[in-house]
Structure formats: structure tokens, C-alpha cells
Amino acid sequence: MLELRPYQREAVDALYAYWREKPGSPLIVLPTGAGKSLVLATICKELIRDYPTLRILICTHVRELILSNFRELLNIWPFAPAGIFSAGVGRRDAHSQIIFGGVQTIARQTAAIGHVDLVMVDEAHLMPRKSETQYGQLLAGLRGINPDLKLVGLTATPYRLGEGSLHEGEGALFDDICFEQPITAMIDGGYLVRPISKGMATTYDVSGVGKLGGDYKQNALQAAVDKDDLTRAVVDEIVAYGAGRHGPERKAWLCFCSGVEHAHHMRDEIRSRGYSCEAIDGTTPKGERDKILEDFKAGRLRALTNNSVLTTGTNLPIIDLVAFCRPTQSAGLYVQMAGRGLRLYPGKENCLFLDFAGIVRKHGPIDAVVPPTARSGTGEAPVKICPQESGGCGSLVHASCRQCPDCGYEFPVDDTPKIHAHAEDVPMLSTAEATWRPVKKRAFRFKESASGGPPCVEVVYTCGLTPIKGYVCPQHLEHQDPKKGRYAKMFADKYWRRHGGKTPFPKSVLEFLERQNELLRTEAIEVKPNKKFRSSPWKVEDYRPAPANDNEQGHEQGHEQEVMAA
């Protein structure tokens, strides 16, 4: 018999404790790969042990998930009084004490099922609040038979695009979260592998794509993303990382695509490089889909592309490379996609994420995603990068800007999707370890305080293609908080001294900028994920000046400083 992990036992006990204190409908939040099937099976077995006449319905939307939940129960309880009610599975066991059902089949079959005491919904984030939906019809029908029906939801993402948290706001189907296991605790405990991410030279520009229901319009998104030059560039990078040219070779590559045609074009491009690849979408016949997934699990396929199929309910632990090729406004979809790569597998130390869609930058590290609030707006404004290779400054500006407000760079008029030579270099975990990066260029800028305090020097370090910002505050003795001011000034003087600047130390930002040529170049910086992700993905922890005799490189970096300060 399978033994529960400590957090799984805590989740089950938390549900019982909730029921002893409250009458509502709670959520159990467990990351993808945490073993929700075993939690569901344990609840079923223990409840029927204590309440022999209880009837339970476990409901979800995916055939594979129905079957895996059913098999998990039989693993711990071989003679469980359980059946399946699903057209996709080909069974309609309406009278079983425990029923594993597909919502598409059972929504209008509540009379056939009869009295149910408890409904547990797996992947509860897929339940809309509207009463006319299939889940709404199912619950209304069952409550018509048993007004005391209890409802429990299990999910890795307790929020829904356009509606906010599942347990808050008007029409919410759930009342509380009774248990939540943080993804960092899963990784630190050795239950999931650690995600790592790389900045990509190719990214999609979807600034002109309209939105519907809070996310991008499907046809317009595919039209913007599914371009021959883009697909070739994306696959070039996937193959380079997957084949081990930039690190260890990857066994199983999963690509999330922006449409059916896009998934097939990605498949064909990967095949053209000599790697086995198949595509799955909603129209793939059941038998063919099962064969493809079985080959992928067994390592007979190197790559798999898909459109809107493998985001939930799929257990493919062999995956060690995930390519985000589908831009999305949905934080929940992002976390679900990322979760496909974090399961444990023999010999798998981590999972590499390649973010061509910019969704890590938009939503943040997967352990620090902020649940969206229910709103009718269109979400975050699209942005673009002021191109440094064309004389710009690297700032992120609104996509509608014709001129950069920071440096005056004039953007060329070009509304077509294009390849950007800028890395989407953002952390996948907010708790990742600090790392050292070589600095290619360094620029100093005058930075006004947003809160009315003294100005500071904004230091922009370019590491590869990635600009990372730090701050030096030489005139913060004027700050209204004396302690904060002394600390900031001490740091500024230390920065000046370590970089070989002469005394006396600069007393103002303008003096610092005027004397910047006294400084040695910065050879490397130590960075770690920034908890204030929205302001900047990375935080500078430390820096390493170049040796004092490094005159030639110091002159090149100093020249860049003069240009940017101007």
C-alpha cells in the first residue's frame, strides 16, 4: 500500500478539521506533481470506512485523469466499491458507491446517478462561476436531490482568468482554502525537481493581438506567432539546448504551441533537424493520442508539440525541457504548463524552461505568482524593448511609444511580428540561488525618486543581452530617514572605493556622474531573483570590479557610461 507523504496527510487532515469547524466548500491546493490522486483516494477510503453508506462523486474533465484517479484508488483499496461514468472511457456505472465521472457526460445525468453526499472536483480551476455551465448544471441537479451535498475542490492554481480567486467574490463556488502546499516546499523536500530557465534570443511580439475573455484571440495569436522565420528561429534554440550544445542533453522536450497549425509546423521543423517528434491537439484520435503519449513516456520520442491538450491531467515525468511557445494572459495556464516539467524521474536533476512567449516575465516566478483579481479590463499593457544594438538604452516601454522616453530613440514603423535579439531572462523560482554573471557593459543614469526623496544613480549592467539594474545613492544623507540615509551613503562610498574612485567621495548624483571616468569597469555582478518582481526580475547582491591594470576594457566600459549618462 502506498504511504502518504507528510504534506498529503496534512491535506487530508486539514479537510476533516475544516468540516468540524465550518459548513462551507473548501479548496485543497497542491502543486502539479504533488499526488492529488492519492489524496483523493485516501479521502474516499477513510470516509467510507467511517460512514459506510456515504456516496462520493469524483469529477473532472479529462479521460486520462478519470482513469488515473480510479486506478489510484484501486492501488490502495483493490476491492473499492467504485465505478466510472464517462463516455470517453466507455463506462456508465451510475450506481457505484464511488463514481469517477467526466463532467461532459454526467452534467445532465444526475437523475440516473441519484443521491450523492460528496462531490470532489479535480482541476477545480476549470469550474466557471456561471450556473448554466456543465459544472453548474451538475451541482444544481445533485443539490436538487440532496440539498446537504458537500463540495471540495482540488487544484494547483486556485484562481481563474477574469474571475480571480476561486473562493472570493460574487458567485464563488468555494468558500475557503483549507490546505495549501507551497511549490518551494515541494522542491526543497525533494518531491519535485528544480526549474531552471534561460534567456532566449527569439521572442514573440503579440502587441497587436486582440483579446477575448481576458486572453489572446486564438486565431489572431496563431497568425502572429506561426511564421516560418519565427518557427525556424525558435526550433534552432530548442534544438541547441535540447541536444546539449549549451549544457546537458535533454531527453524529452515538450512544446506548448499557439494553435493546431502552429503545433504541426513546430513538429515538422523539429523533424527536419533529425529528431523524432509528434503533435497532439484536440482532434487527435484517442488511439493515436494514447500511442504517442506511450512512446513519449518510454523515451521513443524526443519531442512532443501540442495545442491546449497537455496543460492539465497529464503525467509525463520524463519531460526535462519545456518550451513556452504560447503567449497567455492567464497566470493559471502558465503555472499548469510549467508544472508538466517538475515531476521526478530517474536521473532527472532539473527541468529547463525556454520562454519564447514572455510569460515568465509577465506572471513572475512560478512560486510567486500573484492571483489575478476579478476584473473586466484587458490586463497588463504590452511592452517593447528600446534596442541597445540600434543605439537605444534597453528600457521597457509601452508598445505604442514611437519614441523612447528615456533616451529619445525613435522606433521604426513596423507593425508586423518580428524576432527580437533580446533575452527574456527572468527567474522561474523566486528562491533561486544567487549567481555571478560577467558584465559586458555598464551605464550610469540620473534617477529621480518616486517618493520625493533624494535622487540616486541607476546603474544598468548589460550581461549578455540582459540589462540588470542596481542603485547607488551618494546624496542620501539628505533622506528624511537618517538611518536609511547613512546606510545608503555608506554603500555608495563603498561602491566608489572598490571601483578605484578617488577621495573625497562624491556628495551628489551629479558629482558622481561627472567623475564616473575615475572608476574601474565592473567585471561581474552577483544576482538573485527579486521579490519585487514587477519592478525588476533580478536584484544585484554584489559586484566585482575589474583589476586596476585592465585599462583597455575599462576605457570601453567608461565610454558606454558617458554615452548613457548623456
Q: What is the pLDDT of residue 373?
A: 55
pLDDT over 90 for what percent of the chain? 54
Let me know how long the chain is.
566
Q: Report pLDDT for 176.
A: 93
> Cβ contacts of residue 258 below 8 Å, gap of 6+?
221, 222, 225, 226, 307, 325, 326, 327
Statement: residue 512 has pLDDT above 80: yes
Are residue 46 and residue 176 in the same domain, yes or no?
yes
Same domain, yes or no, for 23 and 151? yes
Higher pLDDT pick, 402 / 68: 68
Which of residues 146, 181, 216 is at a domain's end? 181
Rounded CA gap, 466 and 437, in Å? 10
pLDDT at 343: 93
Q: How far apart are CA 193 and CA 413, in angstroms?
A: 44
| Sheet of 321-324, strand order | 194-198, 350-355, 321-324, 253-256, 303-306, 277-280
170 Cβ neighbours under 8 A, 6+ residues apart:
129
Give the list of residues 6+ apart from residue 27 with CB closer than 8 angstroms, or none: 124, 152, 153, 154, 155, 158, 166, 167, 174, 176, 177, 178
Both 390 and 524 in one domain: the answer is no
Phi, psi of 278 (to 5 degrees): -130, 160
Helix axes 36-50, 63-76, angle to 10 degrees: 50
Lowest average pLDDT, out of 32-36, 276-280, 534-538, 545-549, goes to: 534-538
For residues 321 and 449, membership in a common domain is answered with no
Average pLDDT, the chain: 85
Residues 270 and 169 in one domain: no
Statement: residue 470 has pLDDT above 80: yes
Is the pLDDT at 355 greater than 60, yes or no?
yes
Q: Do 176 and 285 lie in a common domain?
A: no
Residue 238 is predicted with a pLDDT of 96
Q: Residue 497 is part of which domain span?
A: 435-565
Gap between the Cα atoms of 126 and 338, Å rounded: 17
How many distinct structural domains can be found in the chain?
Answer: 3
Grid cell at residue 397 = 516601454
**Which H or E run includes 236?**
helix 228-242
CATH of the domain at 355: 3.40.50.300
At residue 131, the pLDDT reads 67
Q: Fill in the amino acid letter for 526.
A: E
Residue 383 has pLDDT above 70, yes or no: no
Residue 384 has pLDDT above 70, yes or no: no
Residue 26 lies in a domain: yes
Q: Measure the CA–CA gap between 90 and 99, rounded to whole angstroms.
A: 14
- What are 428-466's pLDDT values in tens digits? 777 777 788 889 889 999 988 877 788 999 999 988 656
Grid cell listed for 509: 548624483
What mean pLDDT do residues 149-169 have?
86
pLDDT for residue 418 is more than 70 = no
CB-based contacts of 156, cutoff 8 Å, min separation 6:
29, 30, 31, 32, 34, 125, 335, 336, 339
Per-residue confidence (pLDDT) for residue 259, from 0 to 100: 93
Question: Residue 180: which residues within 8 A CB-CB, separation 6 or more?
Answer: 28, 29, 30, 158
Residue 480 has pLDDT above 80, yes or no: no
For the segment 110-125, the average pLDDT, to the nearest whole number, is 94
Residue 199: pLDDT band with limits 50, 70, 90: low
Indicate whether 135 and 255 sit together in one domain: no
Residue 280 shares a structural domain with residue 382:
yes
The pLDDT score that the predictor gives to residue 170 is: 83
Please tell me the predicted confidence (pLDDT) of residue 374: 43
- Is 303 among the domain residues? yes
Residue 165: pLDDT band (50, 70, 90) is: confident
CA distance 450 to 325: 36
Residue 439, sorted as left (phi over 0), alpha (psi -120 to 50) or beta, turns out to be beta
239 and 170 in a common domain: no
**Is 416 a domain residue?**
no
| pLDDT confidence bin for 203, thresholds 50/70/90 | confident
Whether residue 415 lies inside any domain: the answer is no
Mean per-residue pLDDT, 12-41: 94
For the residues 216-225, what does the mean pLDDT come to?
92
Asked, for residue 487, whether it belongs to a domain, the answer is yes
SS3 sequence of 326-385: CCCCCHHHHHHHHHCCCCCCCCCCEEEEEECCCHHHHHCCCCCCCCCCCCCCCCCCCEEE
Residues 149/117, Cβ–Cβ less than 8 Å: yes
In this prediction, residue 19 carries a pLDDT of 95
- Whether 22 is in a domain gets the answer yes
Q: Are residues 312 and 231 in the same domain?
A: yes
- State whether residue 265 is helix, strand or coil: helix
Domain boundary among 156, 181, 206: 181
